């Protein structure tokens, strides 16, 4: 059982998703001294269901004011930084009931929704589907404004897939050529198809 001597330690102790029990006591308080051995036994008995701490209200006034302590001893039961319930006075039976109530379901807390074996998580599937829809729309627009729509849409999709896989696309085909065999947007008027056709 740990003594929380600073407000920072106190907030770190009550923040986990598991149950934390805090004994707010004072050195001059007779009932606090009388209940201390019983609280230590509870801490040992329920160490797998909750974490147990002590706070001296005179030395750590920030923690005691956060919990709203006005009488000693006061036992606070916390979970995820929230005060669930308190017990005022030296009633260890009530403290034990609260530990059983809130700590009995002290199963592992999973932050993510988990995975089904052999499947991607739902968020990855949704992201993948959205990515494919966007690629299809972009490929459509690329093909609209191109002279060779099928080849430009195919190369666009291949480039997108190569970027996704993290490797460079290797050109498997020659780039589209213009009428004269050079790049597709320029051709010499002297060698245009109309002047070079033979009959």
How do the domains of the chain map onto residue ranges?
A: 2-103, 122-178
For residue 75, the model assigns a pLDDT of 94
Question: The whole model's pTM is what?
Answer: 0.52
Exposed/middle/buried for residue 11 (C-beta within 10 Å: 0-12, 13-18, 19+): middle
Q: Rounded distance, CA 43 to CA 56, Å?
A: 17
Query: Which residues are catalytically annotated?
Result: 29, 32
pLDDT averaged per 10 residues in sequence order, the chain, 199 residues: 89 89 92 92 90 92 89 91 90 90 60 56 66 80 69 73 59 50 48 40
Q: Rounded distance, CA 134 to CA 199, Å?
A: 48
For residue 33, the model assigns a pLDDT of 92
For residue 133, the model assigns a pLDDT of 83
Q: Buried (b) or exposed (e) across 190-199, using 16+ Cβ within 10 A? A: eeeeeeeeee
Q: Rounded distance, CA 51 to CA 12, Å?
A: 12
For residue 106, the model assigns a pLDDT of 45
For residue 191, the model assigns a pLDDT of 46
For residue 123, the model assigns a pLDDT of 60
For residue 131, the model assigns a pLDDT of 79
2-103: CATH superfamily: Glutaredoxin (3.40.30.10)
For residue 36, the model assigns a pLDDT of 92
């Amino acid at each position: 059982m740990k003594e929380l001597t600073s407000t920072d330690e106190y907030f770190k102790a009550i923040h986990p998703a598991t149950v934390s029990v805090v004994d707010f006591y004072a050195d001059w308080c007779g009932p606090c001294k009388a209940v201390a051995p019983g609280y230590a036994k509870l801490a040992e008995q329920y160490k797998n269901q909750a974490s147990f701490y002590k706070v001296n209200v005179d030395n750590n006034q920030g923690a005691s004011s956060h919990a709203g302590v006005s009488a000693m001893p006061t036992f606070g039961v916390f979970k995820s930084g929230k005060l669930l319930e308190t017990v005022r006075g030296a009633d260890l039976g009530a403290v034990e009931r609260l530990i059983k109530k809130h700590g009995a379901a002290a199963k592992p807390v999973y932050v993510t929704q988990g995975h089904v074996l052999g499947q991607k998580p739902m968020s990855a599937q949704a992201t993948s589907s959205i990515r494919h829809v966007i690629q299809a729309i972009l490929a459509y627009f690329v093909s609209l404004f191109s002279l060779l729509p099928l080849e430009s849409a195919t190369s666009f999709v291949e480039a997108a897939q190569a970027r996704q896989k993290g490797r460079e696309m290797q050109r498997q085909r020659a780039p589209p050529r213009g009428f004269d065999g050079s790049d597709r947007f320029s051709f010499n008027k002297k060698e245009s198809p109309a002047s070079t056709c033979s009959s």
